[in-house]
Chain A
Amino acid sequence: MSTPAEVLPDIELVEGRSLWQDAMRRMLRNRAAMVSSFLLLALLITVTVGPWISGYEYDQLDWDHIWEPPAMETGHWLGTDSLGRDLFVRICQGGRISLMVGIVSTIVSLLIGVSWGAIAGYFGGRVDAIMMRIVDILYAMPFLFFVILLMVFFGRHILLIFIAIGMVNWLDMARIVRGQTLSIKNKEFIEAAWMAGASNRRVIYRHIIPNLMGVVAVYVTLTIPQVILVESFLSFLGLGVQEPATSWGALVNEGAQEMERAPWLLIFPASCLALTLFCFNFIGDGLRDALDPKDR
């Protein structure tokens, strides 16, 4: 006759799974998102170490090889432009700038948007009404026009690009975070936490913020491609990054002007840009499905 204590060790304890473990599991099963992550990582590594392997500089002129189509022998793997600059290295350099703008500007909009939305949602009442009215008014503004004006009239500094683009994108973030805070505040598990005697601080850190993070993470992955898009839009109009530095938008613009003569100048940067946006969108989608499994 065995005592319960002898039986118990054989029973496997069911371990609780956190939201993030669950999400991780679902994310790993999402093939499109995993392939996209892998591609993006590969792109990131290429962009980082590419110039170093190639041996050319992004602003190095090679007068013996102008308008060269892609060729392995000369070391200009993706060809050269009208000044003999190596396209591969320029794509890497442009990619660094595009990705950096994407990430930094997203952080700017993240900081503004999350604090704005969380404050409005948490305090509610008149504070909420006023703050959200401001967001509504700003929403109706043709913002990109403002960014264009900023760039035209105040010079084309890269810091200005970061700030201008970040300022544009925080509105959505603020709205989403506010809505989420409002609904989380009224959930039963918050009430339960209160009942269990959790402090204000504990409720915020253990219950509200972790539940916000899912939405924010999804939104961040979806904002980065938007920001890259805006930056390349500005660069395409000639208002973004200035020569000899470059970005994918600027490269597409140059390529578009020379496409009859040197189609590779258009095709390669355009593909890189589209591929990056494609991957970010798929990852964002995958994250959303992973963190918000209502369709299952």
Chain B
Amino acid sequence: MRLHVACIIIAGFCLTADASEPVSYDRDVRPILKAACTHCHGEEDELAGGVDLRLRRFMDRPGDSGEPVVVAGQPDESLLMSMIVSGEMPEDGKPLDPAQIDLIRAWIAAGAVADAPEPESLPPGAYVSESERRHWAFQPIVDPPVPPAGPADRIRTPIDAFLWARLHEKGLTFAPDADRRTLIRRVTIDLTGLPPTPEEVEQFVADTAADAYEKVVERLLASPAYGERWARHWLDAVGYADSNGHAEADSPRPHAWRYRDYVIESFTEDKPWNEFLVEQLAGDELAGVVHGETADAVQDPDRLENIVATGFLRMAPDGTGDPLPDPLLGRNEVIAEQLKVVSSALLGLTVGCAQCHDHRLDPISQIDYYRLRAVFEPAFDVAQWRSPAQRLCSLATSEEEATAAEIEKQAVAIEADARAMEKKFLDEIFEKEIVKLPEEDRDAFRTARATPKAKHTPEQAALVKKYPSALALQSLDLYDKEAHAKVVARRSEAKKLRESKPAERFVMPLTEVRGRVPETKVFHRGDHGQPRAAVTPGELSVVAGPAIEPFVPASVPSGSTGRRLAYARWLTGGGHPLVARVLVNRFWMHHFGRGIVATPGDFGLAGERPSHPELLDWLASRFMAGGWSLKTLHRLIVASTAYRQSATNPAAVAADPDNALLARWGRRRLDAESLRDSVLFAAGRLNPKAGGPPVPTGRDPAGRVAEGRAELNANGDVIKFIPPGDDAFRRSIYTTFRRSLPATLLDTFDAPTMLPNCEQRNCSTVAPQSLFMLNDAFVLDSATALASRLQKEQPGNLRGQIELAWLILTARRPDEAELAEGLVHVAEQAESLRQFHVAHPPAKGAAAADPQTEAVASYCQVLLSCTRFLYVD
């Protein structure tokens, strides 16, 4: 079997060659050589054995041994064959397996032909072959023709036409449309992270207008909840956190939230993504600022927004303000991690491997990696490093600064006055005390008191020791409590005054330092201690092909290098093959649960191939042509039949288990934030307060991490947990995200840990989630709040309460059986609870329990836990 269908696995991807098909150099042979050989034979400074295997043409040259490396048509005469057959090569790796050896033998025997013309010579380093250049993701984005339509009632949009073409091939069709209740719940949760209200559901069900659905979509896109929901997706990609990470201290990042608010606002106002990206990559250069010269710019709202946007480039873990074992390494890791974020979020490539050596799988050379680093180097500047605190820029106005200075002056004066008061009191006490001393010691003691302790003569020291209580230089409270209280009162006036200073406000931007242009050098094997050749900023060579004009940095007047601005404009200029594809793929994934490319952070050779490449390109083209408007893209996607179809399509379950072809809606669980927010919303507890500093979190005595502040004793045990009032019920995007202390609810339901960012969330189904729904105080309290809401809206009408609960949580009305089940449940629970309270009467002074409300709450809890609520059908 192996000889017929050789399935060769080279660290992650599979190439198959059929015996009937001639062996291809590009497809079959070169990948083996690249993975196993060219690292030493061509890509390093020194050519091992004088053999260079990067090009077919080079194999004609004999190595140091004088033997020809490859003799076309003569495998047995070829040095390459004897080396790999004997197992002598690869020297440091797994021997090639027999199928690989057979392929190479067959290729040489067939004449050892290269598939495409090769260059005459190569610069040192990795070589991007034509076949690698031909990898789909590096091709220019084209606007493909829409396939001929299928059945008119199912092809609502061109998206459906693209999908239909593939479905049709497999003998599948779309599932029927979802009913209106399912659809409005789906689109509402998808676009806002919250369920629709009963009124919204009934209105949509009753709306006979042709554009009923479009009206719903417009309402949702215009709501503030939309920005809070979709910003969260982008915050995953950029690795947003409210702590610095990396170091064990995981110190807080108290000003990150301004970037979070900027992202939310940008989504809400549908800022075109080309502008959005340029601001995030180079907002400082747009605003014309450099480090330490931001005072004027931050007073201009537009420029301030640009500066805040660069928080994107400050998202990577950065422990350089905390104690680190190797600070220099720590600095370089900040840059490396930030490059990972940029490349996975915008380019859909894992460039990290190329930090140490040419990428083994993708055509990304080590030099490429450092050219990319050079774009960002001036802003990071390892040699003149700025810690997170040193990078902050103040938002204070000159008036605020003047006010603060004036207040400080007054406070200092008050403190001086308090000190004088204290001295006066102590002097008075001294005069009373000294008369208690023997006459002959008094003068000497007075002199000793007036002499600073450090200058005491031995005699003076002895004297002071002899009459300790007469000294009266401190501890006024021990002599005269009343006088001491007066001094304390005066001092506290200063403290109080200081509190009236305008609050200090900061932004966490990325800026360069005027005139500083640190050189970027290739680090030998990624070791910052071994810098080699200097490189200039540039695009990855596989993208910067002959047909593509890459960017040229042009310095900007502010004194910044302009590298990032030029790079950002190139990325968003419409000619970049990756950026728009990567973005629309991610948006698609958030809508459907799975990307057209299933590896949203890896469009390279090891990533998955797109399930519908033409659709991806068509979406990317539409996106760019539509002014990079995400809301326009949303409208297009949610209007499709693919989006509106039901989750039920039995034929498709067996034929397409991963639902790659979209012959049904892919049901999925609410993500962590949507779950928490939807529970709060249903219970009528969601606090809609937008923006601002994050709600603090802490460990409560039960061991959960929740919204609130924990007071710890010296051992680090929680002694008190103070909930933050209504702030506990704000949307999850405002909950502090500390890397080392994730909030329990969000963590239980798979919120990401940002190391450094999250390309795609995990979605687990484990018992701790069920235990959470059964027993956690958050769920119990929310169920009680929901029960109270039901009783308020449908007083005395249990039937009405049950119907309303279904509407709120599932957008459906219960059928008669479900209703009956609910009535029985409430009655039985009420009886049990009544008995419980008889057996456990409330403590004196506590309000009597209401078993009926508790029983309704029990029912609400079941509905909150059921799959119709937890999943989006």
A binds B: no
List residues of chain B with CB under 8 Å of any chain A CB. Answer: none
Residues of A within 8 A of B (CB): none
